[in-house]
């Protein structure tokens, strides 16, 4: 015979991966509902995390100085010059080549909607090669997947810092909660509950693989009423009571989302039937329902794994970057269809870059700084931002002798530009990026 506890557990599982944690931001969402400072426009940020450490050295390649690249990458990791998708970078006064699989993103770059941010990574403070080799403070556990994934998501370089327990996406939601008029969670993840989305108050809605919960059928309504009755039966302050409240609020949020989706016409934009394509389609559907949800600001998280290319990188990255290019392009097309292209900005993150010097097995080892994409109608695209590294082993930007580029732009600086566009005042940036004072807040200029 099933116990009540087992029923509650199974009911929670029946939500897919519904946002059972979302109740923790109930108070901040209530504040938003009564706030008179709700925004009058709409803006959304979409974080695309490439788990494993994408090799930026083969994603963005110097075209004018291709010989320098080819000399080090050799036959193991060399992409033929004729295969590169050539783009100009006016700020660098040079031409570059995008990876040959990035056909759709090349088109968006040339159309002025995609920008490249060069050599960005985790930093405790600006640091030179000489300072790094002399032992100046640097992020904890560099080149570790788990630590660097966390630091990219938190912008906090030290594991013992209490603020390392929250992500900068979550803290951004905390800082801007009053901009929304509705009670729906500001943060939505379709890739689990990542640290990036966890704030002091904010927690993500994680609606599961199908954006599905309870439907409008009579049987579904009966199940919904029965489950809510059971959840409300225990109002004590025990863990069981708290768990019931979490589950109940998660169910309510998914039900709210389903009702909004039901009012929204289906998108005409065709998305690739891939993991990343499906995730971004779900995000586009939620954005399409923004008015029904009374949302003026939203933060989204999607991810794609497999970028830990110690071996067979040429084939692996070819396949993965094809997925990225096709899915990001479809998502941008959907924002155009919805009339919100200038209101939505997508951006990539990853654990770290990879060594410029190839490793055995046709791959590359863990490194540090790398290049990233920013996409949207407000992006000042068709150009590079930041400082492209000197591609020289033991050179001025190498933290070792294998081409581990010391970042010249920090995660804090990268995120602060996105945060200010989203609605955070410059004076409030330290609440979102605790270490921004080490770098200053001068705009890199990639958003209008």
Domain ranges of the chain: 4-438
- Where does the pLDDT of residue 183 fall: very low under 50, low under 70, confident under 90, or very high at 90 and above? confident
DSSP secondary structure letter of residue 354: B
DSSP secondary structure letter of residue 57: G
Q: What is the pLDDT of residue 235?
A: 58
The pair of three-digit structure tokens given for residue 3, joined into one six-digit string: 């116990």
Measure Cα distances from 436 to 2, 156, 371 in Å: 53, 10, 20
Q: What is the pLDDT of residue 8?
A: 36
- Where does the pLDDT of residue 207 fall: very low under 50, low under 70, confident under 90, or very high at 90 and above? confident
Share of the chain above pLDDT 90, in %: 77
- Where does the pLDDT of residue 200 fall: very low under 50, low under 70, confident under 90, or very high at 90 and above? very high
Cα within 13 Å of Cα(310), Cβ side: 2
Does the pLDDT at position 331 exceed 70? Answer: yes
What are 301-315's pLDDT values in tens digits? Answer: 999 999 999 999 999
Say which range, 82-91, 185-194, 223-232, has the weakest mean pLDDT.
Answer: 223-232
Q: What is the pLDDT of residue 20?
A: 36
Q: What is the pLDDT of residue 222?
A: 79
- Where does the pLDDT of residue 347 fall: very low under 50, low under 70, confident under 90, or very high at 90 and above? very high
Q: Is 227 helix (H, G, I), strand (E, B) or coil?
A: helix
The residues pairing with 299 across neighbouring beta strands, listed in sequence order, are 45, 187
Share of the chain above pLDDT 70, in %: 84
Q: Which residue has the tokens 């400082």?
A: 387
Instruction: Give the residue ranges of DSSP H helices in 263-369.
Output: 275-288, 290-293, 313-338
Does the pLDDT at position 249 exceed 90? Answer: no
Q: What is the pLDDT of residue 83?
A: 98
What is the Rg, in whole angstroms, of the alpha carbon atoms belonging to the chain? 22
What is the rounded average pLDDT of the residues 117-128? 98
């Amino acid at each position: 015979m099933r116990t009540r506890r087992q029923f509650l557990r199974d009911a929670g599982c029946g939500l897919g991966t519904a946002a059972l944690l979302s109740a923790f931001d109930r108070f901040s969402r209530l504040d938003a509902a009564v706030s008179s400072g709700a925004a009058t426009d709409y803006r959304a940020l979409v974080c695309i995390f490439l788990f494993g450490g994408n090799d930026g050295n083969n994603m963005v390649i110097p075209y004018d100085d291709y010989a320098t690249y080819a000399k080090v990458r050799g036959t193991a990791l060399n992409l033929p010059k004729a295969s590169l998708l050539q783009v100009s970078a006016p700020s660098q006064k040079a031409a570059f080549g995008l990876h040959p699989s990035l056909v759709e993103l090349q088109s968006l770059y040339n159309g002025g909607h995609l920008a490249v941010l060069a050599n960005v990574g985790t930093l405790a403070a600006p640091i030179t090669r000489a300072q790094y080799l002399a032992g100046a403070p640097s992020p904890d556990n560099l080149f570790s997947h788990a630590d660097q994934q966390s630091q990219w998501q938190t912008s906090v370089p030290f594991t013992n810092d209490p603020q390392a327990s929250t992500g900068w996406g979550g803290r951004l939601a905390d800082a801007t909660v009053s901009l929304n008029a509705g009670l729906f969670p500001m943060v939505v993840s379709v890739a689990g509950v990542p640290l990036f989305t966890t704030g002091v108050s904010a927690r993500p809605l994680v609606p599961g693989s199908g954006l599905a919960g309870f439907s409008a059928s009579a049987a579904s309504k009966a199940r919904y009423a029965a489950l809510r009755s059971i959840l409300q039966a225990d109002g004590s302050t025990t863990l069981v009571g708290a768990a019931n409240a979490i589950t109940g609020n998660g169910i309510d949020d998914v039900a709210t989302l389903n009702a909004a989706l039901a009012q929204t016409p289906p998108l005409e934009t065709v998305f690739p039937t891939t993991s990343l394509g499906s995730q971004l389609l779900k995000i586009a559907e939620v954005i399409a329902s923004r008015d029904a949800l009374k949302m003026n600001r939203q933060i989204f998280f999607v991810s794609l794994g497999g970028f830990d290319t110690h071996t067979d990188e040429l084939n692996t990255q070819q396949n993965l970057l094809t997925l990225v290019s096709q899915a990001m392009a479809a998502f941008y097309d959907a924002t155009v269809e919805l009339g919100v292209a200038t209101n939505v900005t997508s951006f990539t993150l990853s654990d770290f870059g990879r060594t410029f010097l190839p490793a055995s097995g046709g791959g590359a080892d863990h490194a540090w700084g790398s290049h990233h994409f920013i996409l949207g109608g407000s992006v000042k695209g068709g150009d590079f931002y930041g400082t492209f590294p000197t591609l020289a082993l033991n050179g001025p930007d190498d933290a070792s002798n294998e081409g581990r580029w010391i970042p010249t732009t920090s995660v804090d600086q990268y995120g602060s530009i996105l945060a200010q566009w989203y609605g955070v005042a410059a004076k409030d940036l330290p609440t979102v990026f605790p270490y921004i004072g080490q770098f200053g807040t001068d705009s890199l200029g990639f958003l209008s």
